[in-house]
Each structure stands twice: as structure tokens, then as C-alpha cells.
Amino acid sequence: MIQRKLTLPKSGTETFFLWGPRQTGKSTLLKQTYPDSVWIDLLKAEEYRRYLERPELLRQELPDTSEMPFVVIDEVQKLPALLDEVHWLHENRAVHFALCGSSARKVKRGHANLLGGRAIRYELFGFTAGELLPDFDLNRMLNHGYLPRIYLSSKPRRLLNAYVANYLKEEIAAEGLVRNLPVFSDFLNMAALSDTEPVNFSTIARDCGVSGNTIKEYFLILEDTLLGRWLPSYRKRPKRRVTAAAKFYFSDVGVVNFLAKRGTVAQGGELYGKVFENWCFHELQAFNMYEEAFAEFYYWRLASGIEVDFIINNMEVAIEVKASEKILSRHCKGLRSLIIDHPGVQRRIIVCLEAKARVTEDGIEVLPALDFVQKLWNGEFFS
């Protein structure tokens, strides 16, 4: 059994939300952590219908005793009205809940009861390299993606096809998030081609035949359903003109590969560099969430195109990602240009495929992927 890095609180000590994309293993983690909890699964049709018609049943069915049970509600986003009962039980009977879901959109957009800020937020990502060590397989992860079932499968494309179809059917169509599902499906394919790149809403809108505002709303749906997240441009105290557009990163590179029709991504090509960059961002985000580092991430790019992939906080660490087995002077161009504009940057790193770690004459750390993972999960990159 693969031990996940996310540590959840002890039973009955906190009420919390556990969010994460579909199939990241949220239910499995909750069952392992809270084997004796009261479990309410809103994916079951009969459970959903009962609480839809009479949400007060939750209050009536839980015993009013001195030792209150710990309650897990799975797929809570399907029935936001149930959160009023959760709030009352938490306040008046000291019942603690784990509220699990794959989409915060209906909860956020519907102005549902968020328990007055009393509930902690946790997020579960797909597999990380830190969880898979010492058996971590980089090429497998960059082709299969991070979702546990698909990463472990010998036939990932069939599962990825089902995953995308179920996302469109259950997250988008069933929840009525868009009016035109075929256009949204086309948008997904176009958005996948923009993964790890600054997003041009006008270009995607033109290719999909809809307005720029519609494309912005579609990206917001991806964000709310936890299928991706934005990486803003670092624009503090620029000495030269910098790019303003944010980048978008899908939460699973296997989904990106499938949507973009990439087939097998082999080392040495341009696409390998893109999936390698997505993976690095995935590891950074997962560590930040699991270890509660509360770091902020940016990228830095001049109008001339010179770029650094990731900036952590206020120039604490700058990371450039290069899927190369031999780092040359040209690969260091972005990090060397960055220090001209921001001489206070504390640490400059290139994550790459070289065999051994080293440091250049001007202090740039060259880290193989495995060294990067080990240092990251040892907490060496975050203050």
C-alpha cells in the first residue's frame, strides 16, 4: 500500500473539507484514516434522494449523546443545502465532520453555508514522487499521469478516456455548468494544448467559435472543479517589461496528454519538456498544501521571451525546468537574467535530467529530478 503524504486530523478533533480532483483517492484515504466513522455517500442514489428531500434527516438520525460520532459526507458538493445541518450539528452538538468533494463550484457559486469559516480546508492531489520513492518512475508518471488508478494501470489510455467522459458527464453536464457541452469539449482539447503556457483567451475563443468571456468562464470551471490552477506572472518591481498573462496548469498530466492526443511522450522532445514542467509544478503544489507552507508561486518572463518557470514567494527560490541530460550555458539564460532585475533572489535552481547534482561557477544549482524531489520533500526549498 502506498502511503499518502497528506496527514488528516485525528477523528473528532476538527471539522474539515477535503477537496481534490476525481480519482485522487480521497474516499480511500478517509476510509483508512477513519474506519469507525459514520459514512454518508451522496453518490448512492437512495442516499442523495433522502437528504435532497429532507436534509433535516441528518440531524434526526445522529444520536444525541455525550460521545458524538465522527461523520464523513462524501461528494458533499452534490447537496450544498446539507451544509446548513452540518453547521447546526457542529455548533449545537459538537459533531465533527469530514466533508469530501471533487468540485467546490456549486458550494462557492451557490453561496452555500461554508460553516462560518470554522472548517479547515485540505486538498488531495494525485500521486507525488515523494509518495512513490524509492520506486518512483518518472517516465511512467509523465505518460500515465498522477491519478493513482491510472498511474498503476498497464492500459492508461482506456482509463483516461473514461475519466474525461465521466468528467464531462458527471461534473459538467449533470451539474448544468455549461449550456453547450460539445463546445466545452472542444475547449478542453484547446486548453490542453496551452498547458504550461501563458493563456491567450482571444485565440482559444476564436478557435472554439465563442466569446472571450465564455472562455474565461470555462477556465473558471476547470479551476472550480479542481482540474487545473493558474500560475500568475511575477510583476513586483520590474526593471524591464514583463509578461502579464497568467499560465494555466492542468492538475494531471495524463489528462493533458490524452486531450492533446500526444500518444507516448518520449524523452528528448519538446513535449517531454512540457510534461516535465507540469510534473515539477505538481510536486511543488502538493508539498505546499500537505506541509501547510503557505507559499506563493509565480513565473517570471520578460517581453523578449526570457523566462524562469517558477518563483517561490518574494524571490526566495527561482526554479528553471529543463528536460535535458546536459545543462549548457544557454539553459541558464533565464536565471542569469533574473538576477540582474532581482539581485536579492536567494537561490537559483535548474531541475533537469543530468546524472549528478552540481553548482555552476555563478551559484546556480543543477539538480537531477530525483535530487529535486528529495530536497523538496525534505523541506529545503520553503522557509
CA distances in angstroms from 17 to 32, 175, 328, listed in the order given: 17, 20, 46
CB of 251 closer than 8 Å to CB of 131: no
339-345, Cβ contacts within 8 angstroms, sequence gap of 24 or more? 340/239, 341/238, 341/239, 341/240, 342/237, 342/315, 344/315, 345/315, 345/316, 345/317, 345/318
Determine contact, residues 346/317, Cβ cutoff 8 Å.
yes
Residues 300-333 pLDDT 10s: 999 899 999 999 999 999 999 999 999 999 999 9
Query: So what's the pLDDT on residue 111?
Result: 44
The residue type of 292 is: E
Secondary structure string (H, E, C) spanning the chain:
CCCCCCCCCCCCCCCEEEECCCCCCHHHHHHHHCCCCEEEECCCHHHHHHHHHCCCHHHHHCCCCCCCCEEEEECHHHCCCHHHHHHHHHHHCCCEEEEEECCCHHHHHCCCCCHHHCCEEEECCCCCHHHHCCCCCHHHHHHHCCCHHHHHCCCHHHHHHHHHHHHHHHHHHCCCCCCCHHHHHHHHHHHHHCCCCECCHHHHHHHHCCCHHHHHHHHHHHHHCCCEEEECECCCCCCCCECCCCEEEECCHHHHHHHCCCCCCCCCCHHHHHHHHHHHHHHHHHHHHHCCCCCCEEEEEECCCCEEEEEECCCCEEEEECCCCCCCHHHHHHHHHHHHHCCCCCEEEEEECCCCCEECCCCCEEEEHHHHHHHHHCCCCCC
Work out whether the CA dihedral 199, 201, 206, 208 comes out positive or negative: positive
Residue of 164, 24, 15 lying closest to 99 (CA atoms): 15
C-alpha cell at 326: 546536459
Give residue 46's pLDDT.
Answer: 95
Tell me the fold of 16-123: Rossmann fold (3.40.50)
The type of residue at 60 is: Q
Q: What is the pLDDT along the chain (383 residues), one digit of tens a residue?
A: 899 999 999 998 999 999 999 999 999 999 999 999 999 999 999 999 999 999 999 999 988 777 778 999 999 988 988 999 999 999 899 899 999 998 877 666 654 556 666 678 999 999 999 999 999 999 999 999 999 999 999 999 999 999 999 998 888 887 677 889 999 999 999 999 999 999 999 999 999 999 999 999 999 999 999 999 999 999 887 777 888 899 999 999 999 999 999 989 999 888 999 999 999 999 999 999 999 999 999 999 998 999 999 999 999 999 999 999 999 999 999 999 999 999 999 999 999 999 999 999 999 999 999 999 999 999 999 87
Are the beta carbons of 205 and 214 closer than 8 angstroms?
Answer: yes
Which single residue is written with the C-alpha cell 506563493?
296
CA-closest candidate to residue 148, choices 126, 131, 129 = 126
Locate the domains of the chain by residue range. Answer: 16-123, 129-377
Q: Quick one: pLDDT at residue 171?
A: 82
C-alpha distance from residue 84 to each of 64, 79, 269 (Å):
18, 10, 52
**97-124 pLDDT tens trace:** 999 998 877 666 654 556 666 678 999 9
The pLDDT, as a whole number, for residue 117 is 64
pLDDT attached to residue 174: 73
Q: How far apart are CA 325 and CA 278, in angstroms?
A: 18
